[in-house]
């Protein structure tokens, strides 16, 4: 039996259609996967550069579009087409937000870096340790160049590194200032073990910074700062107690010489400082207490010296008065003798 052309076409359609449909579905699936991948990538990039913080309303809208795209079922070709369009809109939204975010993000990082750098210059760190600031400056300039060249991810990493370097230097310089104060006052003797450990950690931090290991350098700088603070705190407590004892010794010496009576005003000033220092000591404000005890001690000494000076002056006046009385008596006696001689 001879087959009709229609029958042949029908059989061919039955045989060929499944294959063609599979290819179409495969192509659609590939397009959908690409759209999803592009959307996820755009969303991740925008999140990395903190777009939700800069443009919260726009971010919520993009998130809603993303959720809508994910909610579409894939039962028909029409569904796949709708999902493709939804994902493309979401990806475009994330890309748009990212483009708006990048200049603001770059400016924020620059502001943070410059704030710390200006602080280091103002406090004298740059003048004292220029060799440590130079690498941080170079890293900051690299970040700026990368941002301007639209090389955003390397720029982000460079900016973060520069910021960490300046943070490390800021903390390290604070630790160095405390170390200098400890040395100047001889306070390392109050807590030698803690001080030695601080010195060791500070040295490790410097080595790590010079080797380019900024996280380790920052960690060591923070630990050194805490340990120097602890040494200084303990030392001030001991020093305040020492100054309290010395002030009390001068107070008792002043009382022994009746300074509270002879130099009442100066003694009262010393008493006022001493009482205020004792109150600060109870509140554990040791540095303030120690300095006020020193003032009180000095004022007790001044009051005692004033008393002694008054007594020396009084003794001189009494001696001079006595000499004048004696001289007057001698003159009177000479006159009396002269009168008696003339009478005879």
- Tell me the per-residue pLDDT of 329-344, one tens digit each, with 9 for 90 and over: 555 555 555 545 555 5
Evaluated on CA atoms 291, 292, 298, 302, the torsion sign reads positive
Chain segment 22-55, per-residue pLDDT in tens:
555 555 678 889 999 999 999 999 999 999 999 9
Residue 23 and residue 211: Cα distance in Å, rounded?
57
Q: Phi and psi of 138, rounded to 5°? A: -65, -40
pLDDT score, position 293: 93
Q: What percent of the chain has pLDDT over 90?
A: 69
| pLDDT of residue 107 exceeding 70 | yes
Residue 164 and residue 162: Cα distance in Å, rounded?
5
Residue 64 and residue 60: Cα distance in Å, rounded?
6
| pLDDT of residue 128 exceeding 70 | yes
Residue 138 and residue 131: Cα distance in Å, rounded?
12
Biggest distance spanned by C-alpha atoms of the chain: 201
Identify the CA nearest to 162 among candidates 202, 112, 122, 120.
112
Chain segment 177-203, per-residue pLDDT in tens:
999 999 999 999 999 999 999 999 999
Mean confidence (pLDDT) of the chain: 86
Is the distance from CB of 267 to CB of 259 less than 8 angstroms?
Answer: yes
Is the distance from CB of 165 to CB of 125 less than 8 angstroms?
Answer: no
Q: How confident is the model at residue 6 (pLDDT cuts 50, 70, 90)?
A: very low
Chain segment 298-331, per-residue pLDDT in tens:
999 998 888 888 777 766 666 655 565 665 555 5
pLDDT score, position 7: 35
Q: How confident is the model at residue 94 (pLDDT cuts 50, 70, 90)?
A: very high
Residue 175 and residue 191: Cα distance in Å, rounded?
16
Is the distance from CB of 230 to CB of 276 less than 8 angstroms?
Answer: no
pLDDT score, position 31: 87
Residue 192 and residue 194: Cα distance in Å, rounded?
6
pLDDT score, position 322: 58
pLDDT score, position 22: 53
Give the domain ranges of the chain.
Answer: 25-104, 238-339
| pLDDT of residue 268 exceeding 50 | yes
DSSP annotation of 166: H
Output 76 or 128, whichever has higher pLDDT.
128
Is the distance from CB of 96 to CB of 146 less than 8 angstroms?
Answer: no
| pLDDT of residue 256 exceeding 60 | yes
Output 150 or 318, whichever has higher pLDDT.
150
The contacts of residue 294 (CB under 8 Å, 6+ apart) are 243, 247
pLDDT score, position 332: 53
Residue 268 and residue 271: Cα distance in Å, rounded?
5
CA–CA distance from 126 to each of 111, 137, 143 (Å)? 18, 11, 21
The contacts of residue 111 (CB under 8 Å, 6+ apart) are none
| pLDDT of residue 263 exceeding 50 | yes
pTM of the model: 0.74
| pLDDT of residue 112 exceeding 60 | yes
Residue 320 and residue 325: Cα distance in Å, rounded?
9
């Amino acid at each position: 039996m001879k087959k009709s052309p229609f029958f042949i076409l029908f059989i061919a359609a039955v045989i060929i259609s499944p294959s063609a449909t599979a290819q179409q579905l495969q192509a659609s699936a590939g397009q959908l996967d690409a759209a999803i991948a592009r959307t996820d990538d755009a969303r991740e990039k925008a999140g990395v550069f903190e777009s939700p913080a800069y443009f919260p309303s726009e971010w919520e809208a993009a998130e809603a579009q993303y959720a809508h795209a994910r909610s579409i079922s894939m039962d028909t070709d029409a569904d796949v087409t709708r999902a493709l369009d939804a994902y493309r809109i979401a990806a475009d939204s994330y890309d748009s937000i990212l483009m708006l975010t990048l200049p603001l993000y770059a400016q924020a990082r620059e502001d943070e870096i410059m704030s710390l750098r200006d602080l280091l210059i103002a406090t004298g760190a740059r003048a004292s340790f220029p060799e440590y600031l130079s690498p941080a400056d170079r890293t900051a300039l690299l970040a700026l160049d990368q941002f301007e060249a639209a090389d955003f991810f390397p720029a982000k990493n460079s900016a973060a590194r520069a910021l960490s370097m300046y943070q490390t230097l800021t903390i390290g310089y604070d630790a160095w200032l405390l170390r200098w104060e400890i040395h100047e006052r001889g306070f390392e003797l109050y807590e030698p073990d803690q001080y030695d450990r601080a010195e060791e950690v500070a040295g490790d931090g410097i080595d790590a910074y010079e080797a380019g290991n900024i996280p380790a350098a920052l960690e060591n700088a923070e630990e050194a700062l805490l340990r120097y603070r602890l040494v200084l705190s303990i030392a001030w407590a001991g020093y305040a107690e020492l100054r309290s004892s010395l002030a009390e010794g001068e107070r008792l010496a002043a009382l022994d010489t009746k300074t509270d009576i002879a130099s009442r005003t100066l003694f009262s000033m010393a008493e006022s400082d001493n009482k205020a220092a004792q109150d600060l000591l109870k509140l554990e404000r040791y540095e303030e207490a120690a300095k006020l005890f020193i003032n009180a001690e000095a004022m007790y000494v001044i009051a005692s010296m004033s008393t002694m000076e008054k007594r020396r002056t009084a003794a001189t006046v009494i001696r001079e008065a006595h000499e004048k009385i004696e001289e007057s008596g001698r003159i009177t006696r000479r006159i009396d003798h002269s009168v008696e001689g003339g009478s005879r």
